[in-house]
Amino acid sequence: MGERALVVVPDRSDGYCLCYCSQWAGSDSTLRRVLESGQSVDELLTHDWRFERRCRTGQVLDSLDFLGTDAVYRFWGREVDVFIPLWFGIAVPEHTERADIGALVPVRSFTTVEHCREALRQFKGPVLDSVRDGTMPSDLATTLLERACHLVRAGCSPTCPTV
C-alpha cells in the first residue's frame, strides 16, 4: 500500500490550493529527512507526485483520508510545513471504518511524530479493548473518538505537545 503523503500548495491569489499525492513520501525515513533538513522542500522533490484536486484552502481536511495518509506537507515557497494525520476511528470487524475522523498535528521533529503516534495509541487502546470485550458499543466508541478529534482540532489536546 505504501506510506501515502499529500502536498498542499496554496495559491495566495485566489484562496484555493492544489493538492498532490505520493505513494511513498509519507514514510518515516522521508519524514525524518524533511524534518532534519530544516523542513526544506528538496527532499520531497525526489518523490513522484500526481495531481489529486484543487480546492479552497479551508476545505483540504474535508476530504482527507486520515486512515490512509501518513504525512501532509504544505509548501511555502522552498519551505515546507509538516503535519501528521491522527486517525480517531476504530478498526473492529463489526464496525465500518470512517477515514474522515481525524486531526492534523503540526510537527517540527521526528521525536514529536513518534510521541504523538504513541499518545494516540495509548488513548485508543482502552477504547478498543472496551469495544472488543463488549463493555462499550462501537457507536459510543466512535462518538468518544470523534469528540477527542474535535478537541485536538481545537488545540485542546492533552496528549500531543504544542509545536
Q: Is the pLDDT of residue 91 over 70?
A: yes
CA distance 51 to 135: 44
Q: From the centroid of its chain, how far is CA 78?
A: 22
Please provide the average confidence, as pLDDT, over all residues in the chain.
83
For residue 157, what pLDDT is reported? Answer: 44
The tens digit of pLDDT for each residue in 106-143 reads 999 999 899 888 888 888 889 889 988 999 988 888 88
The tens digit of pLDDT for each residue in 4-59 reads 999 999 887 888 999 999 999 999 999 999 998 877 788 888 899 999 999 888 88
Q: What is the mean pLDDT of residues 60-74?
A: 89
CA distance 42 to 25: 12
Q: What is the mean pLDDT of residues 58-69?
A: 85
Q: Is the pLDDT of residue 155 over 80?
A: no
**pLDDT-based confidence at 62, cuts 50/70/90?**
confident
Q: What is the mean pLDDT of residues 78-92?
A: 85
**β-bridge partners, 103:** 86
Close Cβ partners of 33 (under 8 Å, ≥ 6 residues apart): 43
Q: Is the pLDDT of residue 148 over 80?
A: no
Query: Nearest to residue 26, comparing CAs of 72, 60, 62?
Result: 72
pTM of the model: 0.82
